[in-house]
Amino acid sequence: MLAVRLAPWLAVLLQHVPHAVAACSRESLLAAAEKYVELQASGKLDLTTLSAAATVAYKENNANHDIKTGVLSQGLKVSYNRSTADPVACASYTELVALTPKPYVIATQITHNATDMSVTLIDTIAATTGALRFDAATTLKYFQAEDWSTLPAEKRPSRELLRNTIDAYLDMWTNATAIDAIPFGTPCERVEGSARVSPCTGGAPRGGSKQPNNMRRYVIDEVVGSADVLCQFSAVGAIPDSHEVRIEGGKVRYVHTITLSAPK
Ligand SMILES: *[C@@H]1O[C@H](CO)[C@@H](O)[C@H](O)[C@H]1NC(C)=O
Ligand SMILES: *[C@@H]1O[C@H](CO)[C@@H](O)[C@H](O)[C@H]1NC(C)=O
Ligand SMILES: *[C@@H]1O[C@H](CO)[C@@H](O)[C@H](O)[C@H]1NC(C)=O
């Protein structure tokens, strides 16, 4: 019944989610995320057939966007993809890098209906030429050098630590002492566009901005030790942004930022 109401491409996205696994399980969320990556790679998003009754909402760079003209409608050669799963929020997060036919570094959260796993929202921050310190080839090299594999049980952070850490991180621009609440590890590397900064405290702000970074949407994965937030970087302008941390053994190991540029 569901497939009748949905666009063919979305039905394809859903039918590959194994029915035997519970809704919102890691397996089902990651399987759907992989389908999303394949869709981005295929360039065969035939949106002329998108039914008027399709229930998926699409946001690109913090604004509602027509999916037919969005980045998902372009075929990109995907050089890197990595996904995490949040069974509590019934959502996934995917980071992907493409160099051709156009360079992109993309951060996407996909939210599902917890009852039937249908996709309710595809929420994308798509950085390309012109974004902050943008150089997809350099970013790709840095991402490929990192280890984001699942953590053994004793090294997994709690959901609370992940949430508090990513919030404190985004609060650093407006709160002079927020930095003290972040358990930075040694080593810790931050990849922001084509820049790799180590230690992660290098260049970290200590308050000073008036507008808090807002519109925060979270995908938290204790198994990988990651928390991603898509947000609006209001501290420095209304800038679409993704910030993600990886915590290993209680300490921040990696930070990724994918940030568009300030409006001219
Ligand atoms: C995404 O990454 C996974 C794991 O590295 C890989 O197996 C898969 O082929 C990639 N998907 C695409 C469409 O490139
Ligand atoms: C989720 O799916 C169920 C079953 O199809 C449906 O009854 C419900 O209205 C959906 N919820 C939302 C928020 O769309
Ligand atoms: C600023 O951050 C600190 C953590 O170091 C926290 O205790 C405090 O409540 C924060 N202040 C505000 C106004 O949020």
Q: Does residue 237 carry a pLDDT above 80?
A: yes
Q: Does residue 135 carry a pLDDT above 60?
A: yes
Whether 127 is in the pocket of ligand 3, judged by its Cβ within 6 Å, is no
| Mean pLDDT calculated for residue range 169-185 | 98
> Strand, helix or coil at 99?
strand
Select the more confidently predicted residue: 48 or 129: 129
Tens-place pLDDT, residues 100-112: 999 999 999 999 9
> Does 153-259 match 3-128 at the fold level?
yes
Q: What is the per-residue pLDDT for 20?
A: 53
What is the best residue among 175, 182, 184, 213 to mutate for testing ligand 3's pocket, by most ligand atoms within 8 Å of CB?
Answer: 175
| Mean pLDDT calculated for residue range 222-246 | 97
Please tell me the number of the ligand nearest to residue 56's CA. Answer: 2
In the chain, DSSP finds a helix count (H) and a strand count (E) of 5, 12
Q: What is the per-residue pLDDT for 263?
A: 57
Tens-place pLDDT, residues 198-228: 999 999 999 999 999 999 999 999 999 999 9
Please tell me the number of the ligand nearest to residue 98's CA. Answer: 1
User: How far, in Å, is the centroid of ligand 2 from the Cα of 31?
Assistant: 20
Q: Does residue 50 carry a pLDDT above 50?
A: no
Please tell me the number of the ligand nearest to residue 41's CA. Answer: 1
Q: Does residue 195 carry a pLDDT above 70?
A: yes
What CATH number is given for 153-259 in this structure?
Answer: 3.10.450.50
Pick from 30-39, 120-129, 152-161: least confident: 30-39
| Mean pLDDT calculated for residue range 19-34 | 83
Q: Nearest 5 degrees, angle CA 14-CA 20-CA 21?
A: 75
Q: What is the per-residue pLDDT for 16?
A: 52
Burial class (CB in 10 A: 0-12, 13-18, 19+), 66: exposed
Instruction: Classify 3-128 by CATH class.
Output: alpha beta
Per-residue burial over 223-259, b if 16 or more Cβ lie within 10 Å, else e, is: ebbbbbbbbbbbbeeebbbbbbbbbbeebbbbbbbbb
- Residue ranges covered by each domain of the chain: 3-128, 153-259
Q: What is the per-residue pLDDT for 29?
A: 94
Q: What is the per-residue pLDDT for 53?
A: 33
Whether 176 is in the pocket of ligand 3, judged by its Cβ within 6 Å, is no
Q: What is the per-residue pLDDT for 49?
A: 39
Query: How many percent of the chain have pLDDT more than 70?
Result: 87
- Rounded to an integer, what distance in angstroms lies between the CA atom of residue 79 and that of residue 106? 12
User: How far, in Å, is the centroid of ligand 2 from the Cα of 3?
Assistant: 14
